[in-house]
Amino acid sequence: MKVFVVNCGSSSIKYQLFSMTNEDVLAKGVLERLGTNQATLHHRARGQSWKLAVQAANHTEGLRTILDVLVDAEKGVMSTIGEIEGVGHRAIHGGEEIRGTVRIDESVLEVIRRNAELAPLHNPPSLAGIEGAMAALPDVPHVAVFDTAFLSTLPPKAHRYAVPEQWYTEHHVRKYGFHGTSHRYVTLRTAELLGKGADQANLITAHLGNGCSMTAVAGGQAVDHSMGLTPLEGLVMGTRSGDIDPSVVLYMQSRGFSPADVDRVLNKQSGLLGVSGCSNDMRDLLGEAEGGNERADLALEMFVYRIAKYVGAYYTILPRCDAVVLTGGIGENSLPIRQRIVRSLARLGAELDDARNAATVKGRAGPITTDASALAVWVVPTNEELMIARDTRQMVRPL
C-alpha cells in the first residue's frame, strides 16, 4: 500500500510517499514559493535529488505538479498515481470537535474553516492544501491527522484558564496545544524502546525546534502541555516569547503599539532572536556565546531555564517519570544544549553521560544519561510524517 503524506503551508507543500509494506519512504520533497514566478520543487527519490523550476499558481496546481513528478520516467517511483491508496494530511486545529484522526468529508472541512480564527496562520493553508489534493486525487480517501488530537485528553484543570466561564463556552478560550503528532510519535516510540506498552508510559516529552513545546504524558495520554490557545504560550522559542504576563500586551498598547504590532513582536521578533539580537538559530547563538556575546549566552540560559521549570512542574503531576524525552531539530542535534538541559536537571538526579550524548545523533535514539541517573533523559527522533502515514493506512485499510 502506498500513502501520500501532505503538509501545506501558505506558499509551500511538503510531501512524502510511503510504501507501507516496510514503511519505506519512496520519495520526498518540498515545493517552495508557491504562486510566484520563483516556484521551485526540491524532489528526492532513489538516492537522487532534483531542483526544478515549476509553474504552480495555487495548491491544486502544485500538487498536480508533484504527482506528475512522482510518475515521471526519470524522477518518479510509480507507474501511475492510481497506486496511491490514501492521502494523509497534517491538519493543525480541530478545536474541541475533532479529537482523533478522521476521514475527510465536508463536515471535517467545515470544522477546519470554523477553527481558522484559532489558528489563522495554519488552518487556511492546510485547508487549501487539502482541497487541492482532493481535486488532484478525487477518487482516493483523504485522511486528516490533527496536531491538537493527541492533546485533547488534557483534563479541564489543565486545559481551562481561570477566566469567566463565558469566555470558554462562547469564545472557546482554553489550552489546545500543538505539535501533538510529534509528541504522540515519540511517546509511542519511547515506550517501545523502554519495553513498555504505550499505556504504561509516563514521560515528559520536549519538542525543541524553532517552535518548542512540552507535554506531560501519564499512561500514554497527554495530561498537560506547554502551548495554549495559540502556539505562543510556554517555552522560549526561536522567535516567540513563550510565557509572558498578559498585562505586558496592554502596557505596550498603552505605549503606542497596535494589537497587530504586539502580535508581530511576540510571535516573530521575540524568543531567542529578541533576547540575543542576532539570531534565532541555535547554532549561531552557540557560536556567538562562545565568542563572548553576553546577550546570546543569556538567550541560551533562558531557553534551558524555561525547559527545566516545565520539567519540574510536570514531574510533580506524574505518577512517576520514566524519562524526559528530547526531540525536534534542537533536541535531536544540539549536543551543547542537551548537555545544558541535563545539567539543569541535576536536582532531580539527572547525570549526563558525555559519550552517550555524543553518540546519539543523526537519527539515533537512546539515553544520554548514565545508568545510575535517577532521572533518565532520552533523545528520540520524531517522525510526524510516518505517524500520519500509519494513521492513514489504518483509516483506509484497517489491520
Catalytic residues: 147
Between helix 384-396 and helix 180-193 the angle, nearest 10°, is 90
DSSP class per residue in 242-310: -S--THHHHHHHHTT--HHHHHHHHHHS-HHHHHHSS-S-HHHHHHHHHTT-HHHHHHHHHHHHHHHHH
**CB-based contacts of 301, cutoff 8 Å, min separation 6:** none
Rg (CA), the chain: 21
Q: Give the CB-side neighbour count of residue 276, counting CA atoms within 13 A.
A: 29
Question: Helix, strand or coil for residue 153?
Answer: helix
Closest CA to 6 of 177, 160, 125, 152: 125
**Alpha carbon distance 241, 239 (integer Å):** 7
**CB-based contacts of 179, cutoff 8 Å, min separation 6:** 147, 207, 211, 213, 215, 227
15, β-bridge pairs: 6, 29
**Alpha carbon distance 187, 223 (integer Å):** 13
Amino acid sitting at position 57: A
Amino acid sitting at position 48: Q
Cα torsion for 217, 219, 222, 226, to the nearest 10°?
-20
- What's the order of all strands across the beta sheet hosting 377-379? 221-225, 212-218, 203-208, 323-327, 377-379, 366-367
Q: What is the DSSP letter of 195?
A: T
- Do residues 208 and 237 make contact, with C-beta atoms less than 8 angstroms apart? no
Q: Sign of dihedral through CA atoms 190, 363, 236, 369?
A: positive
